[in-house]
Chains A and B, each alone.
Chain A
Amino acid sequence: MSLGQKMKWVLDSYFTPLTSSHYIELLNPLWADHQLHAKVVAVIDETKTARTLVLQPGRNWRIHRPGQHIRVGVTINGARHTRTYSLSSAPEAGGGQIAITVKASEGGFVSRHLTTEVKVGDLIPVGLPQGLFVMPEAGPVRPLFVTGGSGITPVMAMLRSLAIRRSAMSIVHIHYARHAWDVIFGQELRAMHRSLPNYRLIEIYTENKRRGIPGISDQPADLHLTRGALTAICPDWQDRESWVCGPTGLNEAALQIWRECQVESRLCIEAFHAKLAPLPGDAKGGVIKLQRSQKEISSDGQSSILQVAEAAGINLPHGCRMGICHGCNATLIAGTVRDLRTGAVRQCSPGETVQICVTAVSGDSEFDV
């Protein structure tokens, strides 16, 4: 233990079983280090349905890498709902402030709450930045970004960072949106396109007549990502390091194209939803035993352990609900599980960690939660 740690230990001993942080929190929640909060300092409307929340994180914040995401807790009717949002701000931006940009999705009551109810001054529980959808530390020289809809948010952090660092020689950015007025950060992107000589933006509106982009037709098929369209817009795409983030269709099309040309290693994809595989008809359920909660529940073998527990009124800790953040990690004590993303039964032995939001049981199982 260093001297600082020893002093902290003595100080915390005055507040056992809590810590000094629990009392510092009474003065200012942002000074606490036992949990991380962020204060909403500004609210910016980006489009009709998307809103940026500028946040001042607490002192335990760790500077993010552009492209990373955070867990955000939203309290609705007294209960906390946790979702994952990409940071749209560059880490170099001043004041230590960060921003998330949220698009109110249809039926998404958490995103609707974030875009309509949250006001300046509110405190929001947040997690530390996570995720591997990032650029190398040195910064890419000739990056290609392909984004769709709200998939622009993590890439926006990258673009803003590149604009500040001025390290890239040539940036090509293809963005898909439904309409011109539907582009999140539309004005800022277009301004960057005009003012930065190394940044080229190509916007494609899938539900509007496009504005004549050389080399591609306005046939509906060409308004989505194809190898032909890609080559027409950016002939040297195979030589570029590429980041793709958008709806499942766009991500899958990209993966296909890069695979065909065997340049998959140059591609980095961020998915916003866990894609679940179809399960075999004979997937069997079983009894789930939760050791720490001291509950036993039965599962059909189709729903995730988290869903089954919640349906039984047990609220287990979790985060993104799509297998990204590991906020729901549980230790398997006994039994067999099925990974819902692959649909296959996982060969794992007791003591292994299981993400219960994307895992179902296959037969009776026991977990340390």
Chain B
Amino acid sequence: MSGLPVNLSDSQIAEFGRQMDRIKYEVTRSLGDDDARYIRRLIKIQRLMLVAGRLMIYASLPFLPMAGLAVGSWVVFASVISLGIVALAVAKILENMEIGHNILHAQWDWMRDPQINSTTWEWDTHCVAEHWKQTHNVVHHTWTNVLGKDHDVGYGFLRVDAAQPWRPRHLIQPFFNVVLMVFFEWLLSMQSWRIEDVAEGRTTLAQMRPTIRTTLRKMLRQGLKDYVLFPLLAGPFFPVVAAANFVATVMRSIWSNMVIFCGHFPTGSYLFTEEQVENETRAEWYMRQMLGSSNFSGGRLMTIISGSLNYQIEHHLFPDMPSNRYPQVAPQVRALAAEYGLPYNTGTLLGQYWKTTAKIWRLALPGQAAPTEIRKQVSKAA
């Protein structure tokens, strides 16, 4: 019997795994020109949007009353610069989420285009792609929601499940959660530094130095671009452009943090122990991905702007499947979940985010959060 909290026999689990393999195989076999066109077009739109956003920020400057021009008007300035900031933020969000994250998952390697390839892609964020592929693709996607293995369970600080022992530092987690949200890009890029491991003596600072240096070098280049080079083009309005760029990056941080926190933390997502996943089969791995991930609803635009992570369950089942196919496989996955009596954790974005936040607040204090609903659901179906 598997150590998973489901009332299914080994052969039922194996059959569930075969069904998942079938879904994946059917998509892989049918990949073609339309899929390639999707990612190429998106990359093109994203780059044009980035240029448009930056241009609009400069276009707002003549309307600043301090510029001393006849067109000076706070209202016009605020509207134009807001449009620019939003366009820049959306471009950065697209670049990181629907484009970068998915390319780094090797979703588009099948096209054999050396420019759109997981081994060559570098994304527009502080986090170094090579580091991300280790902390995210290898650690998080292999050990999803395994306590003590998956660093994304609370990022080494937050207590997101009652199974994590309470520590006094968790008292400040409602506040730290906000800090993490605003500075998500910066903090995420430090994930590969293994700060707790260094603090607790599992590795040494000297060993982490090359990794830290690579990240700092990239941070410097990123910072130079947004907070020095582009603002310099504005001459005396340097601070305005620097601030606009900062707001755009913070908007991206807040959005990606929200979307990502809805992926595994909402109530109903299951956490696992190392014993439960020992000698795990591929079918059991599928099942764990299903139990440990959660979706939120949304149409085509929401899907693209959230990097298809509103289909987190499908993404975790098939991390290297081109993301534009998730909406197509989702009904099949959901039907299988129903057939096997498994929960399919989904809701609205705000609903899921509220569940996550409420849990983080509750778990700042010792003791249990809401009872895990999953066990009830599974045993009901069985």
Contacts and interface: CB of A to CB of B under 8 A. Distances in A.
30 contacts: A10-B229, A13-B224, A13-B229, A14-B229, A14-B230, A16-B124, A16-B222, A16-B225, A17-B122, A17-B124, A17-B218, A18-B124, A22-B47, A26-B47, A26-B51, A75-B36, A77-B31, A77-B33, A78-B31, A78-B32, A78-B33, A78-B37, A78-B111, A79-B111, A79-B112, A293-B119, A294-B138, A315-B109, A317-B114, A317-B117
B44 interface: yes
A369 B117 CA distance: 13
Interface of A: 10, 13-18, 22-23, 26, 34-35, 75, 77-82, 125, 292-294, 313, 315, 317, 369
Given A125-B113, A292-B119, 11 more contacts: A13-B229, A16-B124, A16-B222, A26-B48, A26-B51, A78-B34, A78-B35, A79-B111, A80-B112, A80-B113, A81-B112
Contact of B36 (A14, A15, A78, A317): A78
B32 A13 contact: no
Interface string B215-234: 00010011011000110000
Nearest to B322: A78
Contacts of B328: none
Nearest to B224: A13
Contact of A16 (B32, B119, B138, B221): B221
Contacts of A317: 112, 114, 117
B379 to A, nearest CB: 38
Contacts of B237: none
A233 to B, nearest CB: 45
A279 B225 CA distance: 56
Nearest to B120: A317
Report which residue of A16, A17, A18, A315 has the largest number of chain B beta carbons within 10 angstroms of its beta carbon: A17
Contact of A13 (B51, B110, B225): B225
B238 interface: no
Interface residues of B, number: 32
B225 A315 contact: no
A86 B20 CA distance: 46
A250 B115 CA distance: 39
Interface string B337-349: 0000000000000
Contacts of B51: 23, 26
Nearest to B51: A23
Contacts of A16: 124, 221-222, 224-225
Contacts of A17: 122-124, 218, 221-222
A341 B119 CA distance: 29
A15 to B, nearest CB: 8
A158 B33 CA distance: 38
Nearest to B118: A293
B214 to A, nearest CB: 13
A293 B320 CA distance: 13
Contacts of A313: 28
A79 to B, nearest CB: 5
A82 B110 CA distance: 13
A26 to B, nearest CB: 6
Interchain residue pairs A-B with the least CB separation, the first 5? A78-B36, A17-B122, A80-B112, A77-B32, A78-B32
Interface string B30-59: 011111110000001001100100000000
Nearest to A310: B112
A17 B138 CA distance: 23
Contact of B115 (A14, A35, A77, A82): A35
Contacts of B33: 75, 77-78
A71 to B, nearest CB: 11
Nearest to A26: B47
Contacts of A292: 119
B12 to A, nearest CB: 27
Contacts of B230: 14
A79 B110 contact: yes
Report which residue of A10, A34, A75, A82 has the largest number of chain B beta carbons within 10 angstroms of its beta carbon: A75
A303 B229 CA distance: 52
A35 B48 CA distance: 19
Interface in B140-189: none
A315 B108 CA distance: 10
Interface string B231-243: 0000000000000
B112 A315 contact: yes
Contacts of A77: 31-33
Interface string B309-351: 0000000000000000000000000000000000000000000
Nearest to A16: B221
Contacts of B34: 78
B190 to A, nearest CB: 18
Contacts of A13: 221, 224-225, 229
A294 B106 CA distance: 12
A16 B32 CA distance: 31
A34 B35 CA distance: 23
A272 to B, nearest CB: 22
Nearest to B230: A14
A315 B119 CA distance: 11
A317 B113 CA distance: 9
